[in-house]
Amino acid sequence: MATSAPSALRKTPLNVMHRRIGAKMVDFGGWDMPVEYSGLIAEHMAVRTGVGLFDVSHMGDIQLRGPGSLDAVQHISMNDASKLQEGQAHYSAMLYPQGTFVDDVIVHKLSGNDYLIVINAGTREKDFHWVKSNVQRFNCHANDYSDYYTQLAIQGPKAAETLAKLTKVDLSSIKGYWFKWGTVCGLANTLIARTGYTGEDGFEIYVPSDVATSERVWNEVLEAGKEFGILPCGLGARNTLRLESAMSLYEHEISDKINVFEAHLDRFLKLEKEPFIGSEALKTIQAEGGPARKLVGLEVVERGIARDGYAVLDAAGKKIGVVTSGSPAPFLKKNIALAYVPTELAVVDGEVAVEVRGNPVKARIVPTPFYRRPKKTA
């Protein structure tokens, strides 16, 4: 079977810059993306202890605009967008009729009839087609603005101090999962959101996607963060950071074959609102006693690393589940994993094993997230 040439990979406006500064590049969901620059562990630790900068321009941006936009958002997503205030965002998901995942998303309320849905990179086209076809009966327009913006994530305990050098916006007035518009790096009307995918405090900024502007802002952020030890960070650190924080990744913890209850994301599920796509199936699952399997956190207690796709075994050595994401945790200095196991075995402190190269390696079910950022002291 012929493989597609690297030239077929999509590129963010910062692609040349990444190569110029020596990033190791990989194919990520059809995108030519940096996996690491100075090294995964160094980048991970920079975000946990100082600040890191990510190019996340491969993410998708769908705008729903018009008098029926709230009704449309309510119909296609599981959280209750009617509770959002202007300038507020929340985590949600778009579901298939059987209650499984089209994608997990962040919904931003721009105004009373204007919503921005940030979607994942690998599912961009699928998501937009799904949104467009499912909002047709509502009085709104769905537009894909993904390629209009370069999206940068400035993440870590020193993220606010770094970004403060580049804007006059009072960042302390932006709470987690809220956003404002302001001038950043001389660019007026820049969206500044206090969101991220690392488990740390941080911001995501959206700037025009031309190469010159994108590279200038990237360099200015790096310069602003220099005193805090800022590092450019790749997808490798993004993955280990989100794993320590037990955040879901599409085709791993969530997919079109996994439902909301299994994925342990029902805290974001609002079945009491008007019916939405997937709600009836989820009510049925709930009425029938809940899911047969659940996502749990594992800490490997013997020598060995639980990798994606490895089998999870019970005490008798029988396969009972599968690891969805697993790796060493650079900050926690443990080997951790997320895995699906039967609901009756999804008990904290329960003992299981992970099959590593044919050998059972002991693991313990632990609470998630594995890592919580320290509360700020006044």
> How many other CB atoms are there within 10 angstroms of residue 163's CB atom?
24
Question: Residues in the chain, how many?
Answer: 378
pLDDT tens per residue across span 322-355: 999 999 999 999 999 999 999 999 999 999 999 9
* Residue spans in the chain of domains classed CATH 3.30.1360.120: 6-57+148-244
Which tokens belong to 338?
A: 């997320």
Using the predicted structure, report yes or no on whether residue 184 has a pLDDT greater than 60.
yes
Query: What would the CATH number be for the domain defined by 292-366?
Result: 2.40.30.110
User: Residue 314: is its pLDDT beyond 80?
Assistant: yes
CB 5 within 8 A of CB 24: no
**Tokens coding 68:** 């029926």
Q: Is the pLDDT of residue 6 over 90?
A: no
Give me the mean pLDDT over the 242-264 stretch: 97
Range 66-74 average pLDDT: 98
Token pair of 62 as six digits: 């769908």
φ, ψ for residue 321, nearest 5 deg? -170, -170
Provide mean pLDDT across the span 290-312.
97
Whether 244 and 338 have beta carbons less than 8 Å apart is answered as: no
pLDDT tens-digit readout, 35-52: 999 999 999 999 999 999
Q: pLDDT above 70 covers what percent of the chain?
A: 98
**pTM for this prediction:** 0.95
Instruction: Kindly indicate the confidence band of residue 4, based on its pLDDT and cuts at 50, 70 and 90.
Output: very low
Q: What are phi and psi of 343, to 5 degrees?
A: -55, -40
Task: Kindly report, residue by residue over 119-164, the tens digit of the pLDDT.
Answer: 988 888 899 999 999 999 999 999 999 999 999 999 999 999 999 9
Write the DSSP symbol of residue 157: T
Over range 78-95, report the average pLDDT. 98
Structure tokens at 182: 């302001």
pLDDT at 3: 43
Is the model's pLDDT at 297 over the cut of 80?
yes
Phi, psi of 327 (to 5 degrees): -175, 170
Which CATH entry fits the domain spanning 6-57+148-244: 2.60.40.10, 3.30.70.360, 3.90.1150.10, 3.30.1360.120? Answer: 3.30.1360.120
How high is the mean pLDDT of the chain? 95
pLDDT value of residue 7: 57
> For residues 124 and 103, what is the distance between their CA atoms, to the nearest angstrom?
9
Q: How far apart are CA 203 and CA 178, in angstroms?
A: 10
Residue 1 has pLDDT above 60, yes or no: no
Could you give the CA distance from residue 341 to residue 344 in angstroms, rounded to a whole number?
8
Q: How far apart are the first and last CA of the chain?
A: 60
Local confidence band at 5 (pLDDT 50, 70, 90 cut-offs): very low
CATH 2.40.30.110 intervals, the chain: 292-366
pLDDT (0 to 100) of residue 354: 98
Name residue 377's amino acid: T
- Note the pLDDT of residue 65: 97
